[in-house]
């Protein structure tokens, strides 16, 4: 199972170093899990220096250009140079708070893949869209547009994160996760040659108490974990409850 922690805008470099050091010490029992932390850009150097081989890491956002007059943005080339193996793209907070569109998502996916940084493309419906029974339509649209420039010879991951389940404590049901992941898998098989096995993570209020059950759902390769990835005990709790 993949357990990817999304720290969002939490932790300073000092706190990051401390957390990663403790996580490394604790990891031996769960070493078959694939552990990834997605950290603020300002913590990348601290994490790179501490992570070792077992903990993979990445960023949470990047621009699609490698350099230019884009004040405040992160370069995908620099992310790669800092050892980032991954970068989140199109997280719902980026879409809602920073007006990131599917077209931007597509450009970011293309440029990260060029740098051999694996994009983790986040998709998911809002509560209103689910109530209007538009979930499948929204997922297919986000896939089609967000992966419009994907290179099928290079890796990418997907994360299904229903917006209404993020940071709310309200987790999608096993049935809802199963249905959404099946829609995503079917779309991938049909549209991206050779990517039938691309990992699809679930994200949205994942914690130790619900991860074990969700881990058994078909097409769930792992989790994108926000709140529960910030404290060592809660992150380890998720890792342990999903160890197979
Ligand atoms: P959460 O966040 O686990 O706190 O709901 C998930 C995410 O935003 O990736």
Which residues form the pocket of ligand 1, taking CB atoms under 6 Å from any ligand atom? 6, 161, 166-167, 203-206, 224-228
What is the residue with the minimal CA distance to atom 2 of ligand 1? Answer: 226
**Residue 161 designated active-site:** yes
Residue 122 phi/psi, 5° resolution?
A: -95, 130
Nearest alpha carbon, ligand 1 atom 7: 226
Q: What is the pLDDT of residues 58-108, one digit of tens each?
A: 999 999 999 999 999 999 999 999 999 999 999 999 999 999 999 999 999
Residue 171 is given by DSSP the state P
pTM of the model as a whole: 0.97
Can you tell me the distance from the alpha carbon of 118 to that of 135, in angstroms, rounded to the nearest whole number?
26
Q: Which residues of the chain have pLDDT under 50?
A: none
CA of residue 207 to ligand 1 center, whole Å: 10
Which residue lies with its CA nearest to atom 3 of ligand 1? 226
Task: Give the position, in ligand 1's atom list, of the atom nearest the Cα of 207.
Answer: 3
In angstroms, what is the span from residue 69 Cα to ligand 1's centroid? 31
Cα 240 to ligand 1 centroid, rounded to whole Å = 18
Ligand 1 centroid from CA 16, angstroms? 18
Which of 227, 231, 235 best tests ligand 1's pocket when mutated (most atoms within 8 Å of CB)? 227
Closest ligand 1 atom number to CA of residue 205: 5
Buried b (16+ CB within 10 A) or exposed e, 53-89: eebbbbbbbbbbeeeeeeeeebbbbbbbebbbbbbbb
Mutation pick for ligand 1 pocket among 89, 160, 167 (CB with most ligand atoms within 8 Å): 167
Residue range 219-230, pLDDT digits in tens: 999 999 999 999
């Amino acid at each position: 199972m993949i357990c990817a922690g999304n720290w969002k805008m939490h932790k300073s470099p000092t706190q990051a170093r401390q957390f990663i050091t403790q996580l490394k010490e604790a990891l031996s029992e769960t070493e078959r899990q694939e552990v990834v932390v997605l950290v603020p850009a300002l913590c990348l150097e601290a994490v790179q220096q501490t992570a070792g081989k077992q903990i993979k890491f990445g960023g949470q956002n990047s621009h699609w250009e490698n350099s230019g007059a884009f004040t405040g943005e992160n370069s995908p080339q620099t992310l790669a140079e800092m050892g980032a193996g991954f970068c989140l793209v199109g997280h719902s907070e980026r879409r809602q708070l920073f007006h990131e569109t599917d077209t931007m998502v597509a450009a970011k996916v293309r440029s990260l893949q060029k740098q051999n940084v694996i994009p983790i493309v986040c998709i998911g419906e809002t509560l209103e869209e689910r109530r209007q029974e538009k979930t499948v339509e929204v997922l297919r649209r986000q896939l089609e547009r967000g992966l419009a420039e994907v290179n099928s010879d290079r890796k990418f991951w997907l994360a299904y994160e229903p917006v209404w389940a993020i940071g709310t404590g309200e987790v999608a049901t096993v049935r809802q996760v199963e249905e959404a992941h099946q829609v995503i898998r079917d779309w991938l098989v049909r549209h991206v040659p050779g990517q039938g096995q691309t990992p699809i993570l679930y994200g949205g209020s994942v914690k130790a108490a619900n991860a074990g059950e969700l881990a058994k759902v078909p097409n769930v390769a792992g989790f994108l974990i926000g709140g529960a990835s910030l404290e060592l005990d809660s992150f380890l709790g998720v890792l342990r409850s999903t160890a197979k």
